[in-house]
């Protein structure tokens, strides 16, 4: 064989290398060793969800003011709580908001979320969430990585490791947080998993990804350059047979070339209609930021991005942390997110994407049914609410319950590990089989815990 | 060892003394373990099926569901379920299980909730799911295998715990291939498998490989030439010696070590305050680099990192700074800060340090034994807490303070040196404060004295002349000013200024009658009266200053004085203030800056009296030119509009747009107050709460060498001792009144009455006098006095106060005075000696200010003894925390080391934490692990994989060594060489196996795809650091400056080792993470990922713009002939260390002549940097 291959030969060769690798990867649990680690992989069993959008609400939204109505609180407002918090007895605080039944299912939602409430028949509310850490850093890490202290791969990174991504021209795991987030990269990082599985963090929505354009040369010239590069690499490779990595890296440059064309388009909202902009609240200053995040999420999952994590950061890095000013704080937060979230759900539903897209809403913990100060609530890890929609989850249902005050999860408690197990299950992954060997041990997202919450599966 | 101890006991409910314990722990099956790092996690075994089944299906349920009530802590029904024995033995109702017979097993009937037995768990909500019940049935049916038994038996004979063996390598047939004993072992392993080594690497490839390996940089052209022309047999040995002696060597191998010890330059650059972060840890990084460069023996290296603080010289005047710095390894413990539960936080960092010591030095996952005996290795919880006692008796934090906890720091100088430095610094500080005061006020004071002298000498002559002139002007034929002045022996300019003085609006009250007197005689008498009164005022003031030190202090240090009831305030037609006269007289007045407007002069009710105030509406602002005094006192009477936005400033020397601050006073609408004082960029704040009543208040702020304090209506409401002087950017030359806000256009809203600033921190007497005076004026007057009558000296009663002679005297000392001279012209009026003195003082001040700050270098370190004020204060053996929970302590274990390794009869630790003993134990020559683990790590960085591929896990679940005899031989040689790492490099690199080619035969790849038998050299991708360093190196940009704090900008052309890394990733460059750089935890081995964003980076990032432009410039500069072929050849030699082929030259030519592109050489160079060859080393 001539050592100076034509471009076509090179691409065919690189492509074949990949095909073979991808095929072997399909058979295995484990991530590929070489080649393209992001190639789409078949799940353990047929998946209900192909993609995930996690709407993370840092700070800890209050369950008794959002999705877990507690008439008893209104009744006993101002009375000493029968339970202590941090050794202190505090007074019960009624929710300032009314709850109402919505949809055909009649699931109750507080008036904080009038628009999300219209989608309630697609939503499964879990009212019995439990977590292990009452502090923000540990709580956020646990919710996002399954571990509260040590460096561990994030949920999104595990999903990437398990499934790869469907669109090679975009990152497969994108985290969008316009403001800073607590614990930073640890929330979306890959830790000991290969770096290619870590979330691509987008902070500046105007310039979401770096290095997508070459300001110096035309695309034609760059094409010629990459052809030349391929020929140079082929010469190098010809003497070094059977090193998949050399093929893979040639292919990576081809992928990069295509990403340059496709990724900016994915992040460009200019082409969206005025109606869509309104649907996501882009026309209102208060909803514009999170609306943009949600609309981006839809555009990204539409293009095969596997995991999109949105951090709500309008109003601080943990906006839901209302130790005081619950009324204005939660109202502002709900206002900033309600229309965008409802818009996202409706849009996904209309386009049919919701069937295969799992949407998750929630924070790192909930808030106490008792008052902190005169108008705040403290952190509360023992029973709080999150919800899921689409992607194989039963809509219009409530799972689990807290006690009559909204303290403890008393029926069907769902630990964060259980939630993680369920998310992986919906994606067709067995959380006990999705393991990665590191330092002589097999690690998994759920450590040694986790049960799939089968009751909420559609 | 009892079976019971093997049971994984974590994850049961904690019941007491946890801060959250009141929340019904006992009923919570999944208890909020609030923090117990239970998740240290229990490992998922890579285990046999039955074992796996037990570990994943059975054990978790026993632990979570059953153990809370059935363990050694609480034996409900006399039953324990924490070992197979206990299950078989059972409780009050008989055996819990009968192996092989699920139907007869009580446990099964209980979890099936059959009617005749107590259902378990009792609560219906927690009932096991059917599939879980089925798992138990299957487990018992299959014989109820409890797999830890097997693991324990296996452990006793584990190779890694056995002493080093010394077995000669078996004979090999291919004796010709061998150059060293290493080759002997390797070749023998190959021959058994019928593998043949690859041919030797060519010289270029070898030089490139060994240069990257030992320095992380590519060979230079000269180095390549020299080596290629060196025909001596030991040419490569010479190269190796040169590389090992290069400073770059420590930067390369130091980084390898930093990977192991979870190094980061900081934990967080955004949310944590500096004292809670370890930002000085770069000193540790530099120490590591140096240690590798000078081949610090590894036993010493280990010892200093573990116990450097305990190795200090006995002579108290000396200090071993280097050994202190070395303990940075422990100081950068990975734990979540700011936790409410400090006890937990301490337990978390102890755990991190055990994990580190285990994995870095012993190759053991000791931390697994925090909650339960290690599942696979013979490490019990007692072993863990024996080690834990050592680290609980060591502090990373001084004490468990609330909020973000500061870290322990130590000065790196001996006490005497520190004292000398501090004394000098204190002297300098005092002198600076003194000089600043002198220099700033001296010129003012001299000028004021001049003015007073001038008034004294000239007024009695000049005033009558001026009055006469103004009267003469009304006559039918007025005289010219020049003539009149000449006739009356007054210079014309002074007369003209007198005219202006009389004509200013409003004119001074005391003068208003002078011109209206029709009768000349009466007029003259009136003039005489005015002169007499002014003389009285002057005399009175002089006398008071002379007899009263407080008055003198006030008079000499007053910088600004504004009052809203000043009749001289100038307003425009809209009622907006256009000029606010400064009654301290020496600085210019306050006026709105260009394009803005001043506040409204309005009336407000102040304690029942209607008084004039300056009303700020959120847009208005005034500014008074004057720099911030480094020490001073500020008095202000104001109130804030209750609807005002927060964050606005009422007064301040600030430019928030440029981020420059000196002082800012930030009231909030509730009446609270926030004083911001900044010194050389460091913030010091005082925050004071609101008073009981809102409304007008007098606030006093003093700052200076004694710190800063805030008073409200004379009562101290806040203090900050750490602020010893205030500095601001020299660009801020004016005090702003009413603005700016913090970053937004919103300015102060509210009313302002009075503002005074003194250039020294007034003593209490002076402060109280001013406060009394101000309070009297604004808050305690029982009757409203006319504006004209008010003055600053109410006690000066002998002067006719009602006409305002004090005001007139002030006016005559103000910028409006006929005798005023601008700042720039004043030198002429100062006496030469005064001028000389001022210049000298100013010079001294400048040189003192330029003197580098006497910083005592500090390092983050650990100290002996648990955190002060915590339960771990001092030195204690630790109690076993049942299930890892600090709230359920069990038996106390003496401090010590894992029993399986401790050797017979280890000496008890009786003094201090035991870290010294730990280091001594680890570095014993007969320790089975320390040397093995380190030589394996060295091997790993030369060959990509260790002989034991799990280089931080030599336990039973780690991979066994491919060449156990070789590993032990190396370990033995390592110890025998005096733990010399550089000798180990020479030993490994100067072998046939290291120097073989990377191409390998098809047979070797087929037989040994993982290359365990090393029949070829692995081809390796450069690590993130080496990629960037190579880019900078070949392009000629690399700045090899060593050490110091990390830099943040990826474009700074220093070695990547020094690029700032942060555990949370904040503010850091994305380059390292894109190329598999360390992520803040312990790195066993770098990944070598290949993804498109890496390609995008190389294709488009500005860093590559610079690098390739520089490389192109270098090529064209260093090959003066414009022959493209010659330049392409040169580029290849620079970037890839070889000559290009004809095809490659042809490809290059095509790219260079492309007319489409502006800088074809730059583009071409970039492409060469993108090639696989550039980042894969054969």
Instruction: Give the tens place of pLDDT for each residue, B586-620.
Output: 667 888 988 888 999 999 988 888 889 999 988 88
Quote the longest CA-to-CA distance of chain A.
87
| Under 8 Å between Cβ of B1144 and B1167 | no
Place of tokens 């049916």: B141
From B375, which residue of chain A is nearest by alpha-carbon distance?
A: A441
Residues paired with residue B687 on neighbouring β-strands, in sequence order: B674
Which region among A264-278, A345-359, A379-393, B369-383 has the lowest average model confidence (pLDDT)? B369-383
pLDDT tens for B60-109 read 787 677 766 776 556 677 777 767 777 888 887 888 888 888 888 888 88
Q: Cβ separation of B1065 and A184 shorter than 8 Å?
A: yes
pLDDT score recorded for residue B629: 82
Q: Pick from B20, B1089, B1143: which is nearest to A37 by CB?
A: B1089
Do residue A151 and residue B1079 have CB atoms under 8 angstroms apart?
yes
Mutation for testing the B interface, residue in A204, A440, A452 having most B CBs under 10 Å:
A440
Model pLDDT, residue B1174? 97
- Provide the pLDDT for residue B360: 95
Dihedral angle at the C-alpha atoms of A122, A123, A124, A126, nearest 10 degrees? Answer: 180
Closest approach of A211 to chain B, Cα-based (Å) = 5
Q: Do residues A245 and A154 share a domain?
A: no
A165 shares a domain with A51: yes
- Give dist(CA B120, CA B113) in Å, integer: 7
Domain count, chain A: 3
Residues with Cβ within 8 Å of B33's Cβ and at least 6 positions away in sequence, in order, are: A132, B11, B14, B885
Extract the tokens encoding B808: 């007139």
Question: Region B134-160: what's the mean pLDDT?
Answer: 74
Q: Which residue of B has its CA nearest to A410?
A: B125
Report the 3 state secondary structure along B869-933: CCCCEECCCEEEEHHHCCCCEEEEECCCCCHHHHCCCCCCCCCCCCHHHHHHHHCCCCCCCHHHH
Closest CA–CA distance from residue B1073 to any residue of chain A (Å): 7
In this predicted structure, the answer to whether residue B796 has a pLDDT above a threshold of 80 is no
Determine whether the interchain pair B125/A130 forms a contact, defined as Cβ–Cβ distance below 8 Å.
Answer: no
Asked if A222's CB is within 8 angstroms of B1092's CB, the reply is no
Q: What is the pLDDT of residue B656?
A: 61
The more confidently predicted of residues B653 and B785 is B653
Q: Are A259 and B1092 in contact (CB under 8 A)?
A: yes
Domain range for A327:
36-208+267-456
Separation between Cα atoms, residue B698 and residue B711, nearest integer Å: 8
Decide if pLDDT at B441 tops 70.
no
Range A24-34 burial, b when 16+ CB lie within 10 A, else e: ebeeeeebbbb
Residue from the list A183, A213, A437 with its beta carbon closest to the beta carbon of B46:
A437
Quote the CA–CA distance of A405 and B997 in Å, as a whole number.
72
Helix (H) or strand (E) holding B703: strand B697-704
Write the pLDDT tens digit of every residue in B203-216. Answer: 999 999 999 999 99
* Judgement on whether residues A370 and A309 belong to the same structural domain of the protein: yes
Candidates A87, A191, A220; nearest CB to B1079: A191
More confident residue, B889 or A424: A424
Q: Which helix (H) or strand (E) holds B611?
A: strand B609-617
User: Residue B49 in 3-state DSSP?
Assistant: helix
Q: Which residue has the higher pLDDT, B553 or B869?
A: B869
Average pLDDT value for residue range B905-930: 91
Chain B residues close to A211, C-beta within 8 Å = 1093, 1096-1097, 1099-1101
**Nearest chain A CA: its distance from B1129 CA (Å):** 14
Q: Residues of B with CB below 8 A from A134's CB? A: 20, 32, 34-35, 340
Considering only A339-343, A415-419, B178-182, B337-341, which range has the smallest mean pLDDT? B337-341
Which among A220, A411, A440 is the nearest to B957, CB-wise?
A: A440
pLDDT of residue B679: 67
Q: Which has the higher per-residue pLDDT, B808 or A145?
A: A145
**CA–CA distance, B1167 with A234 (Å, rounded to integer):** 14
pLDDT on residue B731: 65
Kindly report the number of other CB atoms within 10 A of residue B177's CB atom: 18
| Least confidently predicted of A134-138, B12-16, B202-206, B312-316 | B12-16
**Predicted local confidence at residue B790, as pLDDT:** 39
Mean confidence (pLDDT) of chain B: 84
Is residue B327 scored above 90 in pLDDT? yes
Say what the pLDDT of residue B72 is. Answer: 58
Nearest CB to B1092: which of A189, A228, A256? A256
A133 with A246, same domain: the answer is no
Say yes or no for a CB contact (<8 Å) between A439 and B950: yes
**Lowest-pLDDT range of A425-429, B137-141, B879-883:** B879-883
pLDDT at B217 over 50: yes
pLDDT at A365 over 50: yes
pLDDT band at B518 (very low <50, low <70, confident <90, very high): low
- Sort A325 into a burial class: Cβ within 10 Å, 0-12 / 13-18 / 19+: middle
* Rounded Cα–Cα distance for residues A251 and B1092 (Å): 8
> Cα separation of B375 and B984, whole Å?
34
pLDDT tier at B156, thresholds 50, 70, 90: low
A380 touches chain B (CB under 8 A): no
* H-state helical runs in B233-357: 235-245, 247-260, 282-293, 298-307, 321-326, 328-331, 342-356
Contact B338 A137 (CB under 8 A): yes
Q: Does position A250 have pLDDT exceeding 80, yes or no? A: yes
Residues A406 and A448 in one domain: yes
Asked if residues B777 and B754 have their Cβ atoms less than 8 Å apart, the reply is yes
Name the least confident of A172-181, B267-276, B441-450, B1023-1032. Answer: B441-450
| CB neighbourhood size of B951 (10 A) | 27
Q: Show residues of chain A in contact with B198, CB under 8 Å.
A: none
Res B508 pLDDT > 80? no
Residue A24 confidence (pLDDT) above 50: no
**Are A41 and A156 members of one domain?**
yes
List the Cα angle B457/B462/B465 in 5-degree steps.
155
What whole-number percentage of chain A has pLDDT above 70? 91
Residue A159 and residue A179 share a domain: yes
Q: Residue A136: which pLDDT band, with cuts at 50, 70 and 90?
A: confident
Weakest mean pLDDT among A301-310, A339-348, B762-771, B1045-1054: B762-771
Q: Which of B263, B223, B216 has the alpha carbon at shortest distance from B242?
A: B223
Decide if pLDDT at B1177 tops 90.
yes
Same domain flag for A45 and A23: no
Contact B1101 A411 (CB under 8 A): no
The verdict on A150 touching B (C-beta cutoff 8 Å) is: yes
- How confident is the model over B285-305, as a mean pLDDT? 98
**Higher pLDDT residue, B753 or A192?**
B753
Q: How far apart are CA B578 and CA B597, in angstroms?
A: 7
Q: Which of B44, B60, B1084 is the closest to A442 by Cβ?
A: B44
Higher pLDDT, A415 or B580: A415
Q: Pick from A261, A282, A298: which residue ends a domain?
A: A261
Q: Highest mean pLDDT: which of B174-178, B296-300, B363-367, B448-452?
A: B296-300
> Residue A39 is encoded by which pair of tokens?
């190639």
pLDDT band for B889, please (50, 70, 90 cuts).
confident
Residue pairs between chains A and B whose CB atoms are closer than 8 Å? 292
> Does A349 contact chain B (CB < 8 Å)?
no
pLDDT in tens, A47-82: 999 999 999 999 999 999 999 999 999 999 999 998
| CATH label of the domain that carries residue A178 | 3.40.720
Give pLDDT tens digits for B608-663: 888 899 999 888 899 888 778 878 899 999 998 888 777 788 888 877 666 567 78
Task: Lowest mean pLDDT of A77-91, B13-27, B158-172, B504-518, name the range.
Answer: B13-27
pLDDT at B8: 31
pLDDT at B586: 64
Q: What is the b/e burial string over B622-660, where b = at least 16 CB atoms within 10 angstroms of the residue's CB?
A: bbbebbbbbbbbbbbbbbbbeebbeebbbbbbbbbeeeb
- pLDDT of amino acid A189: 87
From B433-437, B473-477, B894-898, B1106-1110, the region with the lowest mean pLDDT: B433-437
Question: Distance, in angstroms, between A305 CA and closest chain B CA?
Answer: 15
> Are A309 and A446 part of one and the same domain?
yes
The answer to whether A29 contacts chain B (CB < 8 Å) is no
Tell me the sheet residues that pair with A124: A388, A397
Separation CA B1131–CA B1145 (nearest Å): 11
Q: What is the mean pLDDT of residues B892-900?
A: 91
Same domain, yes or no: A146 and A277: yes
Q: pLDDT tens digits for B257-270?
A: 999 999 999 998 88
Structure confidence by residue, pLDDT tens digits, B244-257? 999 999 999 999 99
Q: How confident is the model at residue B155 (pLDDT cuts 50, 70, 90)?
A: low
- Domain co-membership, A247 together with A150: no
Instruction: Please check whether residue A216 touches B, CB under 8 A.
Output: yes
Same domain, A341 and A401: yes
**Which of A196, A229, A261 delimits the end of a domain?**
A261
Quick check: A171 contacting B, CB < 8 Å? yes
> What pLDDT score was predicted for residue A16?
36
Looking only at the bridges linking them, the beta strands covering A200-202 and A173-176 are: parallel
Whether B320 has a pLDDT exceeding 60, the answer reads yes
The percentage of chain B sitting over the pLDDT mark of 70, rounded to a whole number, equals: 88
CA–CA gap between residue B1 and residue B221 (Å, rounded): 63
Looking at A220, A240, A261, which one is the last position of a domain?
A: A261
Q: Is the dihedral of CA B613, B618, B624, B626 positive or negative?
A: positive
> What local confidence, expressed as pLDDT, does residue B25 receive?
30
- A22 touches B at CB < 8 Å: no
Q: Which residues of B touch A384 (CB under 8 A)?
A: none
Q: Which residues on A lie below 8 Å from B1151 (Cβ)?
A: 224-225, 228
| Contact by Cβ (8 Å): B602, B751 | yes
What confidence category does residue A183 fall into, taking pLDDT thresholds of 50, 70 and 90? confident
């Amino acid at each position: 064989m001539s050592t100076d291959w034509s471009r076509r030969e090179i691409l065919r060769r690189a492509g074949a290398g990949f095909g073979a690798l991808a095929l072997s990867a399909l058979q295995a649990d484990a991530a590929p060793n070489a080649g393209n680690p992001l190639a789409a992989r078949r799940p353990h069993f047929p998946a209900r969800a192909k993609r995930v959008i996690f709407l993370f609400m840092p700070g800890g939204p209050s369950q008794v003011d959002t999705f877990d109505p507690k008439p008893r609180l209104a009744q006993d407002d101002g009375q000493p709580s029968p339970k202590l918090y941090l050794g202190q007895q505090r007074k019960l605080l009624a929710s300032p908001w009314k709850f109402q039944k919505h949809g055909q299912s009649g699931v109750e939602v507080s008036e904080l979320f009038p628009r999300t409430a219209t989608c309630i028949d697609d939503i499964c509310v879990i009212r019995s969430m439990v977590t292990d850490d009452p502090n923000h850093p540990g709580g956020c890490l646990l919710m996002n990585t399954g571990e509260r202290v040590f460096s561990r791969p994030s949920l999104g990174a595990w999903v990437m490791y398990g499934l790869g991504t469907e669109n090679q021209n975009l990152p497969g795991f994108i985290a969008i947080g316009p403001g800073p987030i607590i614990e930073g990269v640890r929330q979306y990082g890959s830790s000991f998993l290969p770096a290619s599985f870590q979330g691509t963090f987008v902070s500046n929505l105007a310039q979401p990804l770096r290095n997508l354009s070459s300001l110096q040369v035309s695309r034609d010239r760059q094409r010629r350059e990459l052809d030349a590069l391929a020929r140079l690499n082929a010469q190098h490779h010809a003497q070094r047979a059977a090193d998949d990595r050399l093929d893979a890296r040639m292919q990576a440059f081809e992928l990069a070339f295509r990403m340059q064309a496709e990724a900016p388009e994915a992040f460009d909202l200019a082409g969206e209609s005025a109606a869509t902009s309104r649907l996501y609240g882009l026309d209102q200053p208060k909803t514009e930021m999170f609306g943009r995040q949600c609309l981006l999420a839809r555009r990204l999952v539409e293009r095969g991005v596997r995991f999109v994590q949105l951090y709500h950061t309008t109003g601080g890095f943990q906006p839901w942390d209302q130790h005081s000013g619950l009324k204005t704080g939660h109202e502002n937060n709900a206002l900033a997110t309600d229309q965008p979230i409802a818009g996202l759900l409706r849009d996904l539903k209309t386009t049919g994407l919701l069937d295969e897209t799992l949407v998750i809403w929630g924070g790192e913990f909930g808030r106490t049914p008792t008052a902190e100060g005169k108008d705040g609530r403290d952190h509360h890890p023992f029973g709080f609410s999150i919800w899921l929609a689409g992607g194989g989850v039963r809509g219009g249902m409530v799972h689990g319950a807290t006690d009559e005050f909204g303290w403890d999860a008393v029926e069907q408690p769902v630990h964060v590990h259980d939630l993680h197990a369920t998310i992986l299950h919906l994606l067709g992954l067995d959380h006990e089989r999705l393991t990665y060997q590191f330092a002589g041990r097999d690690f998994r997202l759920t450590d040694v815990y986790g049960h799939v919450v089968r009751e909420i599966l559609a | 060892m009892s079976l019971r101890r093997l049971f994984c006991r974590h994850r049961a409910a904690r019941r007491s003394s946890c801060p959250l314990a009141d929340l019904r722990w006992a009923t919570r099956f999944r208890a909020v373990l609030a923090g117990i790092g239970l998740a240290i996690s229990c490992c998922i075994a890579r285990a046999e099926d039955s074992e796996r089944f037990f570990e994943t299906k059975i054990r978790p349920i026993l632990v979570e569901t059953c153990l809370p009530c059935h363990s050694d802590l609480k034996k409900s029904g006399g039953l324990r379920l924490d070992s197979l024995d206990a299950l078989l033995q059972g409780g009050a109702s008989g055996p819990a299980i009968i192996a092989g017979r699920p139907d007869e097993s009580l446990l099964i009937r209980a979890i099936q909730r059959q009617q005749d037995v107590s259902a378990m768990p009792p609560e219906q909500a927690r009932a096991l799911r059917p599939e879980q019940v089925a798992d138990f049935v299957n487990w018992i049916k299959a014989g109820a295998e409890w797999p830890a038994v097997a693991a324990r038996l296996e452990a006793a004979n584990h190779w890694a715990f056995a002493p080093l063996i010394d077995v000669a390598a078996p004979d090999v047939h291919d004796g010709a291939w061998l150059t060293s004993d290493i080759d002997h072992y390797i070749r023998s392993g190959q021959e058994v498998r019928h593998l043949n080594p690859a041919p030797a690497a060519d010289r270029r490839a070898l030089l490139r490989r060994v240069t990257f390996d030992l320095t992380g940089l590519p060979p230079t052209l000269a180095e390549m030439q020299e080596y290629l022309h060196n025909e001596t047999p030991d040419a490569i040995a010479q190269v190796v010696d040169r590389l090992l002696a290069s400073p770059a060597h420590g930067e390369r191998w130091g980084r390898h070590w930093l990977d192991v010890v979870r190094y980061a330059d900081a934990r967080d650059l955004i949310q944590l305050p500096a004292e809670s972060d370890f930002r000085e840890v770069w000193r540790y990084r530099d120490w590591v680099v140096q240690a590798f460069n000078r081949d610090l023996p590894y036993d010493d290296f280990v010892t200093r990192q573990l116990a450097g603080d305990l190795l200090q010289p006995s002579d108290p005047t000396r200090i071993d700074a280097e050994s202190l710095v070395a303990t940075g390894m422990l100081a950068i413990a990975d734990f979540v800060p700011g936790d409410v539960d400090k006890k937990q936080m301490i337990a978390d960092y102890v755990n991190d340090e055990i994990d580190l010591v285990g994995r870095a030095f012993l190759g053991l996952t000791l931390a697994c034994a925090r909650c339960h005996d290690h599942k696979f290795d013979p490490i019990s919880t007692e072993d863990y807490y024996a080690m834990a006692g050592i680290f609980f008796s060591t502090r990373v934090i001084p004490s468990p303070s609330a909020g973000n906890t500061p870290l322990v720091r130590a000065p790196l100088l001996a006490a005497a040196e520190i004292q000398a430095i501090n004394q000098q610094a204190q002297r300098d500080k005092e002198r600076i404060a003194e000089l600043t005061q002198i220099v700033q006020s001296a010129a003012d004071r001299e000028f004021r004295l001049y003015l007073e002298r001038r008034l004294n000498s000239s007024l009695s002559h000049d005033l009558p002349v001026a009055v006469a002139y103004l009267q003469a002007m009304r006559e039918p034929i007025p005289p010219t000013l020049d003539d009149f002045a000449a006739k009356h022996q007054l210079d014309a300019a002074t007369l003209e200024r007198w005219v202006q003085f009389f004509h200013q609006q409003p004119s001074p009250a005391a003068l208003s009658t002078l011109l209206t007197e029709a009768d000349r005689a009466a007029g003259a008498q009136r003039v005489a009266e005015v002169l007499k009164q002014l003389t009285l005022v002057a005399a009175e003031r002089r006398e008071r200053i002379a007899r009263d030190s407080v008055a003198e202090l006030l008079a000499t240090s007053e910088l600004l004085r504004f009052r809203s009831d000043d009749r001289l305030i100038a307003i425009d037609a809209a009622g907006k203030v256009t000029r606010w006269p400064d009654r301290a007289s020496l600085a210019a007045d306050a006026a709105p800056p260009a394009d803005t407007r001043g506040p409204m002069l309005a009336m407000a009710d102040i304690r029942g009296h209607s008084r004039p105030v300056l009303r700020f509406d959120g847009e208005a602002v005034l500014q008074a030119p004057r720099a911030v005094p480094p020490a001073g006192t500020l008095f202000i009477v104001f109130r804030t509009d209750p609807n005002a936005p927060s964050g606005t400033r009422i007064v301040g020397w600030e430019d928030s747009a440029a981020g420059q601050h000196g002082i800012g006073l930030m009231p909030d609408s509730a009446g609270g107050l926030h004083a911001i004082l900044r010194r050389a960029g460091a913030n010091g704040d005082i925050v004071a709460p609101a008073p009981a009543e809102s409304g007008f208040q007098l606030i006093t702020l003093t700052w200076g060498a004694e710190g800063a304090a805030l008073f409200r209506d004379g009562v101290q409401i806040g203090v900050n001792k750490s602020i010893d002087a205030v500095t601001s950017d020299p660009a801020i030359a004016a005090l702003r009144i009413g603005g700016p806000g913090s970053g937004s256009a919103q300015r102060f809203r509210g009313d302002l009455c009075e503002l005074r600033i003194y250039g020294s921190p007034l003593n209490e007497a002076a402060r109280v006098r001013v406060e009394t005076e101000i309070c009297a004026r604004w808050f305690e007057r029982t009757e409203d006095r006319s504006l004209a009558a008010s003055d600053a000296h109410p006690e000066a009663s002998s002067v006719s106060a009602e006409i305002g002679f004090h005001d007139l005297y002030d006016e005559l000392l103000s910028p409006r005075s006929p005798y005023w001279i601008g700042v720039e012209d004043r030198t002429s009026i100062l006496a030469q000696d005064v001028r000389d003195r001022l210049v000298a003082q100013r010079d001294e001040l400048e040189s003192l200010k330029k003197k580098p700050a006497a910083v005592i270098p500090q390092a983050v370190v650990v100290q002996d003894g648990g955190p002060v004020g915590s339960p771990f204060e001092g030195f204690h053996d630790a109690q076993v925390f049942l299930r890892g929970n600090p709230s359920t302590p069990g038996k106390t274990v003496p401090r010590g080391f894992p029993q399986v390794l401790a050797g017979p009869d280890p000496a008890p630790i009786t003094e201090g934490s035991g870290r010294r003993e730990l280091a001594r134990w680890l570095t014993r020559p007969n320790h089975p692990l320390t040397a093995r683990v380190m030589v394996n790590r060295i091997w790993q960085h030369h060959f990509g994989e260790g002989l034991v591929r799990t280089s931080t896990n030599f336990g039973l679940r780690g991979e066994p060594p491919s060449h156990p005899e070789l590993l032990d031989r190396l370990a033995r040689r390592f110890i025998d060489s005096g733990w010399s790492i550089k000798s180990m490099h020479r030993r490994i690199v100067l072998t046939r196996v290291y120097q073989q080619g990377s191409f390998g035969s098809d047979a070797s790849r087929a037989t040994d795809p993982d290359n365990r038998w090393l029949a070829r050299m692995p081809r390796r991708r450069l690590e993130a650091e080496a990629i960037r360093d190579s880019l900078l190196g070949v392009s000629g940009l690399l700045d090899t400056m060593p050490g110091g704090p990390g830099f943040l900008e990826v474009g700074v052309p220093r070695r990547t080792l020094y690029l700032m890394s942060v555990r949370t990733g904040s503010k850091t460059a994305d380059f390292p993470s894109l190329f598999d750089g360390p992520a803040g935890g312990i790195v066993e081995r770098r990944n070598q990922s290949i993804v498109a964003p890496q390609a995008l980076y190389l294709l488009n990032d500005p860093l590559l713009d610079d690098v390739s432009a520089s490389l192109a410039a270098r090529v064209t500069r260093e090959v003066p002939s414009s022959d493209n072929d010659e330049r392409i050849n040169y580029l290849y030699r620079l970037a890839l260390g070889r000559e290009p082929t004809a095809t490659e030259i042809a490809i290059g030519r095509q790219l260079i002549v492309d007319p489409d592109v502006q800088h074809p050489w730059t583009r071409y160079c970039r492409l060469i940097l993108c090639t696989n060859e550039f980042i894969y080393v054969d």
